């Protein structure tokens, strides 16, 4: 199955929605579809475990320490919740950037993993939680069928869940399999770092004590710090700060709470410090950012 087949199907869904620019949550398939006709500025957001296929154009994505370019015909796996910086780098009105984001079901992956043996003798891979590779034809074909099955109630209920399971299975046996197996194996470093990132998210307003966090996942402080940075591309403290600021930005745009209230709710003890760090990350103050936010 050629990339154009999946590209045409996603483009058709976007056309039917009349979305020319931006992101669409496609409720029937529970996926996010994106189209941009021009390159964009840098955007800060949090990626959850997901599969992203770039079907046309290109996008730069990464952390402050490491960045990757994802081009048409390539896909990436995000294995951990990760604060990222991204921008659309290649897009034009006649060849817009088009991508799809398929959320990963970690419980489903765990249920499938015991039936799939990792490739023996495979070389150690980069522990970074963004894994990039060429998209294989089997994944594209499965996704094309998945979107087709989501079009009617009967096939969405009966067939789409089977194909979603197939997509997860093909990820485990395909080029992304090594990264996913490392995440799912409960004794692996990637799995321990995943547990630590989940703890940070759960207790976002609580100050981090690296020694305590390392001990909770059974690692020494030095090994934990080194591996946390290798997997997430940033330190535990910076990871928490990025999550706090992104959470605050979402609250600013979706609630009427005061800036100081939002600052305290995500763990800042000083609203002045919050404003400084917010402005440094997003390029404008919290109040200005709220006033310039697009109206829902």
Q: Which of 135, 85, 79, 133 is nearest to 104 (CA)?
A: 79
- CATH number for domain 187-296, candidates 3.40.50.1400, 3.40.640.10, 3.30.70.20, 1.10.10.60: 1.10.10.60
Please list the helix, strand and coil fractions of the chain in percent, rounded to the nearest 5, in that order.
50, 20, 30
Q: What is the pLDDT of residue 186?
A: 65
β-strands 74-78, 50-56: how paired?
antiparallel
Q: Which distant-in-sequence residues (6+ apart) come within 8 Å of 32 by Cβ?
A: 23, 24, 25, 26, 100, 101
- CATH number for domain 3-183, candidates 2.60.120, 2.40.128, 1.10.3470, 2.60.40: 2.60.120
Q: What is the pLDDT of residue 124?
A: 45
Q: pTM of the prediction?
A: 0.81
CA distance from start to end of the chain: 38
29-74 confidence digits (pLDDT tens): 999 999 999 999 888 888 889 999 999 999 999 887 788 999 999 9
Could you state, in order of their start, the residue ranges of all structural domains in the chain?
Answer: 3-183, 187-296
State yes or no: pLDDT of 4 exceeds 70.
no
Q: What is the pLDDT of residue 118?
A: 58
CA dist 148 and 204 (Å) reads 40
């Amino acid at each position: 199955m050629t990339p154009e087949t999946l590209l045409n199907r996603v483009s058709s869904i976007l056309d039917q929605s009349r979305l020319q620019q931006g992101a669409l949550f496609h409720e029937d398939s529970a996926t996010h579809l994106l189209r941009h006709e021009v390159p964009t500025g840098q955007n800060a957001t949090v990626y959850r475990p997901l599969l992203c296929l770039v079907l046309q154009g290109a996008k730069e994505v990464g952390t402050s320490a490491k960045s990757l370019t994802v081009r048409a015909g390539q896909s990436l796996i995000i294995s951990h919740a990760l604060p990222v910086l991204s921008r659309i780098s290649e897009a034009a009105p006649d060849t817009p950037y088009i991508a799809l984001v398929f959320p990963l079901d970690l419980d489903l992956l765990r249920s499938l993993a015991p039936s799939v043996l990792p490739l023996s003798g495979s070389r150690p891979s980069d522990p970074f939680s963004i894994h990039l590779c060429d998209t294989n034809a089997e994944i594209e074909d499965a996704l094309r069928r998945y979107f087709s099955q989501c079009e009617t109630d009967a096939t969405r209920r009966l067939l789409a869940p089977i194909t979603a399971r197939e997509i997860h299975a093909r990820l485990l046996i395909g080029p992304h399999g090594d990264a996913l197996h490392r995440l799912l194996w409960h004794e692996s470093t990637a799995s321990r770092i995943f547990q630590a990132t989940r703890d940070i998210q759960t207790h976002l307003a609580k100050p981090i004590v690296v020694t305590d966090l390392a001990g909770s996942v059974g690692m020494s402080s030095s090994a934990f710090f080194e591996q946390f940075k290798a997997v997430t591309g940033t330190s535990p403290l910076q990871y928490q700060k990025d999550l706090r600021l992104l959470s605050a930005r979402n609250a600013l745009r979706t609630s009427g709470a005061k800036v100081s209230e939002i600052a305290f709710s995500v763990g800042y003890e000083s609203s002045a410090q919050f404003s400084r760090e917010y402005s440094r990350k997003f390029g404008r103050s919290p109040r200005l950012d709220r006033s310039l936010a697009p109206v829902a």
